[in-house]
């Protein structure tokens, strides 16, 4: 294990080691907006968030029906703010530093229960878990409110000796028992599958209002090659924030919790006690057909028959301190950035491990919907490097369940600019030789309607659907043909607009520039 990483810039490590400290720092920096106006968790929280999607974090101090709670959302909506907080100068540096953290974890520490803010109050055998949560409803299409932003912690023997962070949607329809939706193929899916035949409940904690670095790692549950069972995701989170994450032993189960979070649900996941997520789907006795909350792909999710989470205790900070719940809106930039930030780094690390020095960047834009795709940027140094971009794409497609499209571009292309990427697709791709389908008949995700349709009239479940394969597109410049693909570069660095126009005239003209022209004007292409 490596020593703790010392952050040079950004927020002090001790400040962002818990959510409260991070929010205070963001507020001081002018990167947080808050309101004391009452907000309704039923539709209003996500409606506000959607109108400010991609903006700064939002703190609601007055939540309807929840006088002892506050709600934060949009926490990861603006990655420039997150880059600033963690001391990353830009998106490319973030990916590279996160890739380094994946293989250089900072071991966590276990603190005494009396020292853990998350155990200031202990409620054993709670009658109604929703009393301590802030369930939300995203749209009028979904029939019930959902709890979806908690970070599960699995440790020790149940995760190969390591630790796992992740989040699962829950619906506590039975007081202290809730459905616990698990994405097929995820780390939690692997654990549940392992213990299913033994009918052995799995002790976990579900932590709410966690340190921001832990939230980032919670989105890494599909990076199997980089983060297999036995890895220490909590320790990676420690490396990201520059200080060890503090853990504490749970009060009622053999599990660990995040000591500096706001609220913890302790209990057991029961793989065989499976129940319908909504009363509507239960009444019909059909899964995969009735709406639940939105999903990562941008479509309405469906209600399934899921394993259950049996809560044995709630621990939390003192109610008078108003514990903060991170209400995660799905199919927002908040959700997207959590799911993709570590994934980009894991993909970068995998490609660089396959053949060092060629991969330059990995980007998953919002329009590629979390698991759905990725853009990789490569630099071919010599003739023998030609072809590695295809190896990379095939590897990523095989190890990222649900990926539908992977695009490779050259170093002269801005992978963050979809106009530039689309230009490459239309000018650099031979449809007969540059479009590949590496894994037809493999395993995908049932969250894609196109994949669900393969079930026909059967229930839309993982066992009834097929993956028709992904698509890799090689939009790179073939080595040795660089002069044929040379882009014109205008002398923008040699001309000062202020020598010709007033500042007012320049701003007036620039205000009319839309889309791709911004990138082209900056680079001179």
- The helix/strand/coil state of 236 is helix
pLDDT tens sequence across 256-267: 999 999 999 999
Contact 22, 262 (CB under 8 A): no
Instruction: Name the DSSP class of 291.
Output: E
Long-range contacts of 423-427 (CB under 8 A, 24+ apart): 423/516, 424/475, 425/473, 425/475
For the chain, how far is it from start to end, CA to CA, in angstroms? 46
Provide the CATH number for the domain formed by 355-485 in this structure.
3.40.1670.10
* Mean pLDDT of the region 46-50: 94
Q: Which two tokens stand for residue 76?
A: 């990861």
User: Which among 337, 356, 359, 358 has a CA at the least distance from the CA of 347?
Assistant: 359
CB neighbour list of residue 53: distance below 8 Å, 6 or more residues apart: 74, 77, 332, 333, 334
The residue whose two tokens read 């209990």 is 267
DSSP per-residue codes, 304-368: -EEEEEEEEEEEES-GGG-PEEE---TTSHHHHHHHHHHHHHHHHHHHHHHSTT-EEEEE--GGG
Percent of the chain predicted with pLDDT > 70:
93
Tally Cβ neighbours within 10 Å of residue 51: 8
Quick one: 357 exposed, middle or buried, by C-beta within 10 A (0-12, 13-18, 19+)? exposed
pLDDT tens sequence across 389-447: 999 999 998 887 778 899 999 999 999 999 999 999 999 999 999 999 877 666 666 66
Please state, in angstroms and rounded to a whole number, the distance separating the CA atoms of residues 520 and 525: 5
User: Which among 185, 196, 229 has a CA at the least distance from the CA of 446?
Assistant: 185
pLDDT at 397: 86
E strand or H helix at 247: strand 246-249
List C-alpha distances in Å: 250 to 146, 153, 307, 392.
24, 11, 22, 42
Please state, in angstroms and rounded to a whole number, the distance separating the CA atoms of residues 362 and 392: 11
pLDDT at 104 over 90: yes
User: Which among 356, 376, 361, 401 has a CA at the least distance from the CA of 476?
Assistant: 376
Contact 323, 288 (CB under 8 A): no
User: Which among 113, 111, 145 has a CA at the least distance from the CA of 43?
Assistant: 145
* DSSP E strand boundaries for 23-87: 33-35, 58-60, 70-73
* Mean pLDDT of the region 274-288: 92
pLDDT tens sequence across 465-523: 666 668 999 999 999 999 999 999 899 899 999 999 999 999 999 998 888 887 787 78
- The helix/strand/coil state of 300 is strand
Cα angle 63, 66, 70; round to 5:
55
pLDDT at 228 over 80: no
Instruction: Check: pTM over 0.85? Answer yes or no.
Output: yes
Contact 308, 131 (CB under 8 A): no
- The helix/strand/coil state of 222 is coil
Given the candidates 3.40.47.10, 2.30.110.10, 1.20.58.1030, 3.80.30.20, the CATH classification of the domain at 19-335 is 2.30.110.10
Of the ranges 64-68, 204-208, 456-460, which one carries the lowest mean pLDDT score? 456-460
């Amino acid at each position: 294990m490596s020593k703790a990483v010392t952050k040079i810039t950004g927020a002090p490590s001790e400040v962002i080691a818990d959510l409260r400290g991070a929010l205070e720092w963001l507020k001081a920096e002018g990167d947080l907006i808050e309101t004391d106006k009452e907000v309704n968790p039923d539709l209003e929280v996500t409606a506000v968030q959607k109108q400010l999607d991609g903006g700064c974090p939002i703190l609601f101090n007055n939540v309807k029906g929840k006088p002892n709670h506050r709600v934060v959302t949009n926490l990861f909506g603006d990655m420039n703010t997150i880059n600033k907080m963690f001391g990353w100068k830009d998106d490319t540096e973030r990916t590279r530093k996160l890739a380094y953290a994946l293989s250089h974890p900072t071991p966590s520490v276990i603190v005494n229960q009396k020292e853990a803010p998350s155990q200031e109050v202990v409620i054993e055998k709670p009658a109604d878990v929703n009393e301590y949560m802030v369930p939300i409803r995203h749209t009028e299409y979904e029939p019930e409110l959902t709890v979806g932003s908690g970070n599960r912690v699995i440790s020790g023997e149940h995760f190969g000796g390591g630790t796992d962070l992740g989040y699962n949607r829950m619906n506590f329809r039975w007081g202290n028992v809730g459905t616990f939706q698990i994405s097929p193929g995820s780390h939690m899916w692997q654990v549940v599958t392992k213990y299913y035949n033994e009918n052995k409940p799995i002790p976990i904690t579900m932590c709410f209002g966690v340190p921001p670095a832990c939230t980032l790692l919670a989105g890494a549950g599909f990076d199997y090659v980089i983060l297999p069972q036995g890895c220490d995701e909590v320790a990676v989170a420690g490396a990201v924030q520059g200080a060890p994450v503090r853990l504490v032993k749970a009060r009622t189960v053999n599990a660990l919790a995040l000591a500096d979070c706001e609220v913890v649900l302790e209990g057991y996941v029961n793989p065989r006690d499976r129940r319908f997520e909504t009363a509507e789907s239960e009444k019909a006795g059909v899964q995969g057909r009735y709406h639940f909350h939105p999903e990562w792909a941008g479509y309405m999710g469906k209600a399934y028959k899921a394993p259950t989470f049996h809560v044995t205790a709630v621990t939390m900070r003192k109610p008078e301190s108003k514990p903060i719940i991170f209400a995660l809106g799905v199919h927002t930039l908040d959700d997207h950035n959590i799911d993709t930030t570590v994934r980009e780094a894991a993909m970068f690390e995998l490609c660089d491990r396959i053949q060092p020095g060629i991969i330059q960047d990995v980007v998953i834009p919002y329009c590629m919907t979390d698991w759905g795709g990725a853009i990789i940027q490569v630099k071919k140094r010599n003739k023998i490097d030609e072809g590695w971009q295809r190896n990379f794409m095939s590897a990523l497609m095989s190890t990222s369940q649900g990926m539908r499209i992977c695009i490779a571009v050259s170093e002269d292309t801005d992978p963050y600019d979809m106009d530039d990427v689309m230009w490459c697709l239309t000018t650099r791709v031979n449809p007969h030789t540059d479009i590949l389908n590496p894994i037809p008949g493999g395993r995908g995700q049932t969250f894609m309607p196109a994949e669900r349709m393969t079930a026909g009239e059967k229930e839309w479940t993982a066992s009834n659907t097929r993956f028709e394969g992904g698509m890799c597109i090689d939009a790179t410049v073939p080595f040795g043909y660089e002069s044929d693909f040379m882009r014109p570069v205008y002398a923008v660095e040699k001309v000062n607009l202020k020598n010709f126009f007033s500042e007012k005239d320049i701003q007036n003209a620039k205000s009319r520039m839309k889309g791709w022209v911004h990138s082209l004007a900056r680079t001179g292409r």
